């Protein structure tokens, strides 16, 4: 059975970009592979976090994992800080990583640009991400497009380690969807939808109520003209909305375009909001049930026990190969 690993940061509100780009794939994969889904709170503290909010968000992301349909009987769901091997392997990988490699990471450049001070953790973040993946001898990593460069580093580090010390670490493959892997911002289709954007109209959060979704879609930037046509270069706003429609409905953009021929943006946007609300409604209902059940912490605790066993096994092999006394 193939091994799958992926993670989501408990920072900000999860949005439909996270869902369509990554989390929705998790649910499908749990029936075909041995899956580990992690709430990566060590990654979240690369930028300042309020401790109480971080704790709450960590539980929220875990609850959302379960609410979208991840079944703890099929997949291992856990919190990163509960497995110390992540931080340990990250250090060892840092010592294999070149300064130049991390300097070229576009996400680091985007997040640090114009800031006077940012943490060293923000810089070394991709090595922690590599550790997350490599500890579980992962075959497949379902992620959105923005994580591709980080995945390439994880692959390079696995290969480098194996060449230097012997074949211990499995080289992972990214799994990046054809549609949905890069959902753009609703207020600016030139930027990606993001948890950290200041404008709340940038995104649709998984916990947004139906009215909010309707409003945000109605306000979403479209392009001049009124033709519902997929053309990312000349019609980036409408094309982004069509990608969202297509990922939620499972229909091709061509089918969607022909349905709205001659109808303009209004009808299309109204139906899109309804489509999103139908799916989010189910998730939100399950979320509230899970929250009320009080079972999430126990699920996380069991997940961490299993994750620790698997991660420790790899860590011991790595330590031995590197010459640490084990």
- Contact call for residue 133 and ligand TYM (CB under 6 A): yes
- Among all residues, whose Cβ is closest to ligand TYM? 21
192 is known as an active-site residue? yes
- Contact call for residue 143 and ligand TYM (CB under 6 A): yes
Helices (H), 226-263: 236-249, 253-259
111 is known as an active-site residue? yes
Task: Map residue 231 onto helix, strand or coil.
Answer: strand
Q: Which of 182, 192, 216, 321 is catalytic?
A: 192
- Contact call for residue 132 and ligand TYM (CB under 6 A): yes
- Contact call for residue 58 and ligand TYM (CB under 6 A): no
Q: What distance in Å separates the CA atoms of residue 231 and residue 2, rounded to the nearest whole number?
A: 37
- Contact call for residue 39 and ligand TYM (CB under 6 A): no
Strand pairing partners for 35? 4
Q: Which of 57, 115, 148, 195 is catalytic?
A: 195
Shortest Å distance, C-beta 249 to ligand TYM: 17
- Contact call for residue 155 and ligand TYM (CB under 6 A): no
Shortest Å distance, C-beta 266 to ligand TYM: 25
Question: According to CB under 6 A, which residues from 190 to 229 bind ligand TYM?
Answer: 192-193
DSSP 16-50: HHHIIIIIHHHHHHTTTSEEEEEE-HHHHTTS---
SS3 content of the chain, % helix, strand, coil (to 5): 60, 10, 35
| Residue listed under structure tokens 């497949």 | 140
Strand pairing partners for 39? 8, 79
- Contact call for residue 43 and ligand TYM (CB under 6 A): yes
Q: What distance in Å separates the CA atoms of residue 89 and residue 120, rounded to the nearest whole number?
A: 17
Strand pairing partners for 205? 15
Q: Which chain residues interact with ligand TYM by CB under 6 A?
A: 5-9, 17-18, 21-22, 40, 43, 129, 132-133, 141, 143-144, 146-147, 181-183, 192-193
The residues that are catalytic are 111, 192, 195
């Amino acid at each position: 059975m193939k091994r799958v690993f992926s993670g989501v940061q408990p920072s900000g509100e999860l949005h439909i970009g996270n869902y369509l780009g990554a989390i929705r794939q998790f649910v499908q994969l749990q029936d075909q592979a041995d899956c580990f889904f992690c709430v990566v709170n060590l990654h979240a503290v690369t930028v300042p976090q309020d401790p109480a909010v971080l704790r709450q968000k960590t539980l929220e992301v875990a609850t959302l994992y379960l609410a979208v349909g991840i079944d703890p009987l099929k997949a291992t769901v856990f919190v990163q800080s509960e497995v110390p091997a992540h931080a340990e392997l990250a250090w060892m990988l840092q010592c294999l990583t070149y300064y130049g490699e991390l300097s070229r990471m576009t996400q680091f450049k985007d997040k640090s640009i114009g800031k006077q001070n940012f943490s060293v953790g923000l810089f070394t973040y991709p090595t922690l991400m590599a550790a997350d993946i490599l500890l579980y001898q992962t075959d497949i990593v379902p992620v959105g497009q923005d994580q591709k460069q980080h995945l390439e580093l994880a692959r390079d580090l696995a290969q480098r380690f194996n060449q230097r010390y012997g074949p211990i670490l499995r080289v992972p493959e990214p799994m990046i969807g054809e549609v949905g892997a890069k959902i753009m911002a609703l207020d600016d289709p030139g930027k990606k939808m993001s948890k950290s954007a200041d404008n709340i109209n940038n995104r649709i959060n998984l916990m947004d109520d139906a009215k909010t979704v309707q409003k945000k879609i109605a306000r979403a930037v479209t392009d001049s003209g009124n033709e519902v046509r997929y053309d990312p270069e000349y019609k980036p706003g409408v094309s982004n909305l069509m990608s969202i429609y297509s990922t939620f409905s499972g229909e091709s953009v061509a089918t969607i375009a022909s349905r709205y021929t001659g109808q303009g943006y209004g009808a299309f946007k109204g139906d899109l909001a309804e489509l999103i609300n139908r799916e989010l409604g189910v998730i939100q209902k399950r979320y509230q049930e899970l929250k009320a059940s009080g079972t999430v912490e126990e699920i996380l605790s069991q997940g961490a026990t299993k994750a620790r066993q698997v991660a420790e096994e790899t860590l011991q092999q790595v330590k031995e190969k590197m010459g640490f006394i084990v």
